[in-house]
Amino acid sequence: MNELTSMQAACWFGRITESDFLGGVSAHLYTEFDGQSIDLNRLELALQRVYLEHSMLRLTLSLDGAPDIKSSAETPLLEVDDLTELTKIKQQKYLLQKREEWTHQQLDLTKGKTARFSVSLLSESHFRLHIDTDMIAIDPSSFRRLMEDLTLFYLASEASFTPVPSFFEWHNTIRSNADLKKLVHRDRKWWQSRLLDIAPPPSLPTNSTSSQQVKSHCLRATITSDESKCLQQLARYNKVTLSNLVLGLFAFSLSRATNDKCFRLNVPTFWREPLLPEINRCVGDFANFTLLSVDIAKHHNLASLVHNIATQMIDLLEHSHYPGVNIMRDLSRNHGTAQIAPVVFTAALDMAEGELFSKSVHNTFGPMNWSVSQGPQVALDAQIVRTDDSLLINWDVRLDALPLDWVNKLFEKFTYLLKKISKEHELLDKDLGNLEEFSFKKYESDTLKTSPLSAIQKAYLLGRTTQLPLGGVAMQEFREYHGRFDASLLKNRLVDMVQRHESLRTYIDTNKLTQVVTDKAVVNLKEIDLSEQPAQIATTYIKNHRDTYSHALFNLDFSPWDITIFYLKDELLTVFTRFDALILDGRSIASLMVELFKIDQIEPGQPIPPQSKAPEYIDRNDSAQRKSDMKYWKNKLSSINTTPQIPWVMPLDKLGVATYERKSVTIKTSKFRQFVKIAAKQGLFKNSTIMSIILELLAYWSRNHSTHVAVPVLPMYSGALSNHSTFIAVAWQANSNQLSQQAQKLQSDILEGLQHLSFSGVDLARMLFEQCGLGPVLPIVITNGLSWPSLSEAHPMQLKYGLTQTPQVAMDIRFTTQPDGALVFSIDYACDAIKTTTIDSLLVAIETAIQEIIDSIEFSFEAEQCFFQNSEFSDQTYYSCANSSHPSLQEQLLAIYTEVIGLDQSDYVTKEISFIDMGLRPYHLKTILKRLNETFLISLSANDVFQCRNIKGVEELLKTTKITDNTVTQKPQSIHSI
């Protein structure tokens, strides 16, 4: 039985499912050849002959990925566009439009469309041959074979040669070969023993443009024949291949662009096990890849780096019998989150054939003047090949993932390095620190001052990596404003603010762990004009942009903040703002927003934003004070020995990169005043009053009826707008005393804690980690924003939405006031850590508690009554309840998929890991579909199940199906019984 390879299956899933990173595209190669004089009839006959000789050109795939070979191809195979009557300008316009269409098309493999051929007839007998091939059927190495045979049959239609084996004949031989099975087993063990040593993906800059559509772009440059020969001589002198030399120079260039010292590269291979005769003439998908870990820090010069990579590549190729797709799957399981290798480097410089195409191909169809490829989860595909005695550098870039200016700069630096080192071989031995001309400079002007990062800033940087649970996110705040405002005034004011506030000219140096203030005012402003779009289209556009924008990590080559203005109909504006806590805390951000949108000199009734002056820092180097504060906190928090025990969906230490959402509830001004008045009789401040309600509910809700949270504090309110905030920790026991007494103790603890800030924040987190033995130890944060400035109620621009995300924080409960005095509770939560319905129920409980206090005119309430008849709380199920006789929906789904796929019990799988990374293959789907329908007594379609990319997607699919004891109704709006 024919079966897809691991790579083919991954490409098939990747083109149909929209993964978190660059999914929904086919793996295909589009090329253009520019020639003169073509016989269309001969070309059509040549194509038919090629399809006859190579069965993979007649491949079809069913929806679940089952392959079949059609007996014959549909004719005609050649499309013809006659542009000879158009002017040259119109011809070029048409060709550019055609290039754009073909670059982003998906060939329909379910109908056997593995390739598409077209000729555009141009003036003076010129023509352009357009070819698009799907890599599931024709990989890049097979494309070379395809072009050679197409040329052969075009020049001699009756030419014959020994029949070649089909691709699936070869693949089946590979699968059944006993010796190769042993090698696969050997290489699997080799890779699995090294999973922890595989470097992380490069930290590519996130593209903050608004495009939600796939956008591929090609960059091309040529290394001349003389330069190519010099590079070859340099490689031979250093006893490495030219491919490994160029790979090393690319790795160095990328490290300078990303500031990464350690990262992984995806290096494709196209080895064909010679088990069948004439297999080199076969067309199919022989592609595989290996993962190269680059560690720049180990090397003092380029020669050392290149030799290390050459040595590594020998080992990697020796152990390439275990497919790269399987390695990525194992890596994802090991990390508990989907892993990617978004940068691909292909150096086809050591081929036995030498040139990419023979002279015969070029003489018949002309030079290949354009090529671009796409592939799932690939942001940058860098290729370098031999052509016409020169080297062609061809980079395929996803501009919906990477900023064009960043890629252009990297491309220019890499090309310049190749040209420079071809003439100055001594650069290979030069110390890396002295290669400044190849660096990406963050700041192009003299700096005003440099200072070391604080402990909390370093923690934020660590949180941006995926080394920690709930990591891979930046501590940043997103705000969305809407209304009418003079855009020119806003832009002019922003320029002035950048000049006046050092925080907006602050850069973070991740290598030196310093922050640098420059004197050059760079305004991070983007403008998107939607004024001609219908309201519904504009709204959808902004919504799609919001989802990406609010979670994107800043590229730290720039100061980490951004303002984006959307121009709408009727002179309306929507303004997105995003600031990283590396440079600004919450109160400073709020102050900047008041300043940005001020109508006159300042908003009435609002404090004037503080101007720059030296802040009074806490002296953390006072060893006596620090020792005293450490002793205070050890005693204060000695009772904490476990992480908060609220009903998380799963253990927080098993969670990977999180997606955050916000839920809010508003307490009307009149009710808030009554509530505060009642608490004031007990001598309570507003913040203590509100926090007491939250803590009592959290503690009652917790399995051990106690909780502890982080409370951000700001030691000073004067000085420059920046981030000098830290946090303390407070503990709470449910029903231990009267609520008022506990609230008074909380108020006293917070005031007392402010006197012990030389040991706080990161120090407290470390101390609690030692006590608890598991992290995250402070996953719940309560943020007091009552003192933050805001726009007046009458201001024409109003805050409509916001979102804050923090590394290692699953739930940030914030309370602020609206301009009219109403109290707003907002919970920013990690979607994979806690259910949305649970967050809704907690907000209802807070509202109920406040109402109960108002009704009783006493500062007291019954937490149980706030949760009464609330199924989310009364029927609490914790992730640790492994002995439950009723497994959760997620557990049932995981059991079905892992059993069918054949995963070991020791393999850790989460609901967000993609099915590709779990090892799902097309032939698994029929069994899974049957098991789902039998288990849940429903009738799901194969198409619906196939569209799900992970367990979470299947959960959502089932939640659109109402399930009762034995009755099934398809597609209701929601379900609470699952």
| pLDDT of res. 445 | 52
Omega prior to 922 cis, within 30 of 0: no
Residue 739 above 80 pLDDT? yes
The pLDDT confidence band at residue 537, using thresholds 50, 70 and 90, is: confident
**273-277, 374-378, 728-732, 960-964: lowest mean pLDDT where?**
960-964
pLDDT of residue 408: 86
The tens digit of pLDDT for each residue in 116-136 reads 999 999 999 999 999 999 999
Q: Which residues, including other chains, have CB under 8 Å from residue 1's CB and lie 6 or more apart?
A: none
Listed residue (343, 54, 334) closest to 202, CA to CA? 343
Q: What is the pLDDT of residue 868?
A: 55
Give the pLDDT confidence score for residue 966 in this predicted structure.
35
pLDDT at 353: 63
Greater confidence (212 vs 349) lies with 349
User: What DSSP assignment string belongs to 32-67?
Assistant: EEEEE---HHHHHHHHHHHHHH-GGGGEEE-TT--E
Q: Per the structure block, which two tokens stand in for 708?
A: 């502890």
Does residue 965 carry a pLDDT above 70? no
pLDDT of residue 390: 87
Is the model's pLDDT at 442 over the cut of 70?
no
443: confidence class by pLDDT, cuts 50, 70, 90: low
Q: Return the top range by mean pLDDT from 73-77, 183-187, 641-645, 872-876.
A: 183-187
**CA 871, CA 586: separation in Å to the nearest integer?**
35
Could you tell me whether strands 780-784 and 811-817 are parallel, antiparallel, or unpaired per DSSP bridges?
parallel
749-773 pLDDT, tens digit per residue, is: 999 999 999 998 899 999 998 898 8
Q: How many residues does the chain have?
A: 978
pLDDT bracket for residue 614 (50, 70, 90) = very low
DSSP letter string, 107-138: --GGGT--EEEEEEE-GGGEEEEEEEEETTT-
Residue 446 banded pLDDT, cuts 50, 70, 90: low
More confident residue, 366 or 24: 366
In tens, the pLDDT along 705-734 reads 899 999 999 765 556 788 878 999 999 998
Q: What is the pLDDT of residue 282?
A: 93
DSSP string, 881-941: -TT-SS--HHHHHHHHHHHHHT--TTS---TTSBHHHHT--GGGHHHHHHHHHHHHT----
Residue 212 has pLDDT above 90, yes or no: no
- pLDDT-based confidence at 870, cuts 50/70/90? very low
Six-digit token string for 594: 């008041």
pLDDT band with cut points at 50, 70 and 90 for residue 317: very high
Confidence tier at 351 by pLDDT (50, 70, 90): low
Predicted confidence at residue 975, as pLDDT, reads 23
Task: Quickly state the pLDDT bin for 962 (edges 50, 70, 90).
Answer: very low
Measured in degrees and rounded to the nearest 5, phi and psi for residue 46 equal -65, -40
Give the percent of the chain with pLDDT over 70. Answer: 89
Q: Is the per-residue pLDDT at 603 higher than 60?
A: no
How much is the pLDDT for 887?
Answer: 67
- Cβ atoms 738, 861 nearer than 8 A: no
Average pLDDT, the chain: 85
Q: In the structure, what pLDDT confidence band is assigned to residue 467 with cuts at 50, 70 and 90?
A: confident
- 522-541: average pLDDT: 87
CA 592 to chain centre: 29
pLDDT tens-digit map of 763-813: 999 999 889 888 799 999 999 999 899 998 889 999 999 999 999 999 999
Q: How far is CA 798 from CA 132, 479, 589, in A?
A: 50, 10, 15
Q: Confidence band (pLDDT; 50, 70, 90) for 963?
A: very low
Burial code (b: 16+ CB inside 10 Å, e: under 16) for 438-461 equals beeebbeeeeeeeeebbbbbebbb
